[in-house]
Amino acid sequence: MKNLLRVLPAFLLLMLLLLACGGGSAETAAETPAQTTAETEATAATAVEDNAAVDAFKAEVVATYADIVYASYQDAYETAVTLQAALQTFVANPTEDTHQAAKDAWLAAREPYGQTEVYRFYGGPIDDADGPEGLINAWPLDESYVDYVAGAPDAGIINNAADYPEINADLLESLNESGAEENISTGYHAIEFLLWGQDLSADGSGDRSYTDYTEAANAERRGQYLLVAADLLVGHLADLAAAWAPDESGNYRAEFLAQPADDAIQKMLTGMGVLSKSELAGERMFVAYDNQDQEDEHSCFSDNTHRDVINNAQGILNVYTGSYTRVDGTVVSGASLADLVAELDTAVAAEMNALAATALASTQAIHVPFDQAIVVADYRPTVLESVNALQDQGDKLAEVASLLGVAINTELPE
């Protein structure tokens, strides 16, 4: 009996220990891994769904961009056709009224084109190896390369019938930027110079008379030059519109939409970032501000530089917000970079929205005309404020690119 009494407590203690340690731990070991695996699979599935949703949204953003590019190039083309018609009327019947109508048509044509500048800087059809950008919008232009200037009445292609007996498209294209970057013979600014003439006024535009096309030396050649330049401009813009036209197999738009959405978005943001920080803020504004020289203006003959600057900034906003207002007032819009950023990071979205609004407003605040804004002490600070706002916007666009999983360079390509 004594031996049994000694053994029984030990046996009972052993059984209790086995029940407490063995049974409980077996249940926990069986349930915990199963729960962890289920949670992991659910998290992974959600991540895949989220990534798929983001990828699908990115594709919609790219499609909206393609729609906007086409619409704005189509507007640029159609307003250039209107300009061409006005120039034809003017050359056929040079009067003060037809001259003014031609100048008005030029100003109207610049509005949509200025908003297309954001589609550059990534090797698209406007500025790839064979792109026509240099034939469309190159500047600054050496006036004496095209026509007479003060002190040189026989200067320019127009007054050199011996070397250039026939003014035609092949000649003007071959001479564009020949020998020097400022030797511009085609595009908007060649037409601008032929309409307004050399800008010799400190606070006004050029004042070429319509009589340059009636009784001045080489009046007929001047008219022929103007019409050939218009034909070239219309042709090059037609090519750009065709490159982005929908439902065209094998054109650039088809290739753009077929590439991975991230690659397309990188191109979109590159165009925006380079234009904002380097081309517009730097080359087009700060150089003129720093030199205080109207010869560095983008549209110096017509004093339309302020509209160039505003439209360039508007083009950046168009792409970011996925919305473009056409010349006829209709709106082309859809999924946007702004929407995509807002889905991913509300703080970055708020910062980018604020900077975009500030950048555009800063360009609209610059004194008109621009050639006075860069030299008059009271006006100069506003130009510099705009330069800084556009540079800040460019930096924020690089941050947006990083958020979207791509990297961009906001410096001008070599």
In a domain, 99, yes or no: yes
Pairing, β 323-325 against β 331-333: antiparallel
Percentage of the chain modeled with pLDDT above 90: 83
Hey, what are 178's tokens? 């020949």
Q: Where does the pLDDT of residue 88 fall: very low under 50, low under 70, confident under 90, or very high at 90 and above? A: very high
Hey, what are 61's tokens? 């953003």
State how far the alpha carbon of 248 is from the alpha carbons of 59, 71, 257, 259, 405, in Å. Answer: 18, 15, 12, 16, 30
Is the pLDDT at 34 greater than 60? The verdict is: no
Report DSSP letters for 219-261, one per residue. Answer: HHHHHHHHHHHHHHHHHHHHHHHHHT-TT-TTSHHHHHHHS-H
Is the pLDDT at 21 greater than 50? The verdict is: no
Q: What is the CATH number of the domain that holds 206?
A: 1.20.1420.20
In a domain, 241, yes or no: yes
In a domain, 351, yes or no: yes
What would the mean pLDDT of 41-47 be, rounded to a whole number? Answer: 53
What would the mean pLDDT of 297-317 be, rounded to a whole number? Answer: 96
Domain residues for 398?
59-403
What would the mean pLDDT of 114-128 be, rounded to a whole number? Answer: 97
Report DSSP letters for 166-211, one per residue. Answer: S--HHHHHHHTTSSSTT---SSHHHHHHHHH-----SSS-----GG
State pLDDT tens for residues 165-177: 999 999 999 999 9
In a domain, 22, yes or no: no
Percentage of the chain modeled with pLDDT above 70: 88
In a domain, 42, yes or no: no
State pLDDT tens for residues 335-382: 999 999 999 999 999 999 999 999 999 999 999 999 999 999 999 999
Return the bridge partners of 149, or none. Answer: 152
State pLDDT tens for residues 314-347: 999 999 999 999 999 999 999 999 999 999 999 9
Report DSSP letters for 52-112, one per residue. Answer: HHHHHHHHHHHHHHHHHHHHHHHHHHHHHHHHHHHHHHHHHS--HHHHHHHHHHHHHHHHH
In a domain, 409, yes or no: no
In a domain, 3, yes or no: no
Please give the pLDDT value at position 412.
86
Is the pLDDT at 198 greater than 80? The verdict is: yes
User: Is the peptide bond preceding residue 413 cis, with omega within 30 degrees of 0?
Assistant: no
In a domain, 21, yes or no: no
What total of structural domains would you count in the chain?
A: 1
Q: What is the pTM of this model?
A: 0.88
